[in-house]
Amino acid sequence: MTGGTGWLRAAVLGADDGIVSTASLMLGVATANAGSHQVLAAGIAGLVAGAMSMAAGEYVSVSTQRDSEQADLRREGQELTDDPEGELTELAEIYVSRGVEPARAREVAAQLMHNDALATHAREELGITDQGQARPAQAALSSAGAFSGGAALPIIAALLTPVAVRPYALGAVAFVALGVLGALGAVAGGANWRRGAVRVLVGGSAAMIVTAGIGHLIGAAGI
């Protein structure tokens, strides 16, 4: 995955989650013969709860990754202080493994370490760069935003359609949006767009059908 498409795939996955969970929730409430306000309240509650859950989960996950990165950087910094020659040799061996001639590899390693030894080892040995470092707050906001964007679609559909056809409108809007996002996510990852769209549609449709069915049974039973 390249940096240019990683954020897009993450956004697509977040929006997919928002669409499926919110549309399923609203369909379940709608087919249970709930009133218009209850359906909209369920959708809004699902959007807020889902976005906050996604943000919290992403923040914790990325914070853990950041803590691990910081620990690795501290350890690497200590190793550079304790054994700079050994670290130079280690860096040169990395370049040799990539096809650089040994003498040239050591020369390059020495020059790079002279400029910024820790940044060089972080990048070449640990795979940590300034652009790729974990940013918990940014990840949390992005995840919440993507989820909210997807969740807003079925809510808008409910606001714009009559009560009598609301479940069908919710399902149709969610189905189309999932297909588009599934195809977009597949293209971003270099996969076949048809396969990506079908995969997302099958999973999302199953969730909505099951939830709608449960809502219908609850409504019929008068629970």
Q: CA geometry: angle at 75 spanning 71 and 78, to 5°?
A: 140
Tell me, yes or no, whether 16 and 89 share the same domain.
no
Q: What is the mean pLDDT of residues 98-108?
A: 90
The verdict on residue 48 lying in a domain is yes
The verdict on residue 65 lying in a domain is no
Tell me, yes or no, whether 51 and 139 share the same domain.
yes
104: containing domain? 70-126
Our count of domains for the chain comes to: 2
Tell me, yes or no, whether 142 and 45 share the same domain.
yes
The verdict on residue 86 lying in a domain is yes
Q: What pLDDT score was predicted for residue 3?
A: 46
Tell me, yes or no, whether 160 and 206 share the same domain.
yes
Ranges of H-type helices in the chain:
3-30, 36-82, 84-97, 102-121, 136-160, 166-188, 193-221
Tell me, yes or no, whether 48 and 144 share the same domain.
yes
Express as a percent the part of the chain with pLDDT over 90: 41
Indicate the residue among 82, 99, 126 that finishes a domain: 126
Q: What is the mean pLDDT of residues 90-97?
A: 91
Indicate the residue among 98, 126, 154 that finishes a domain: 126
Query: Could you report the per-residue pLDDT of 72-85, keeping only the tens digit for each?
Result: 999 999 999 999 89
Tell me, yes or no, whether 86 and 176 share the same domain.
no
Tell me, yes or no, whether 52 and 90 share the same domain.
no
The verdict on residue 143 lying in a domain is yes
Residues 6+ apart with CB under 8 A from 103: none
- Compute the radius of gyration of the chain from its Cα atoms: 25
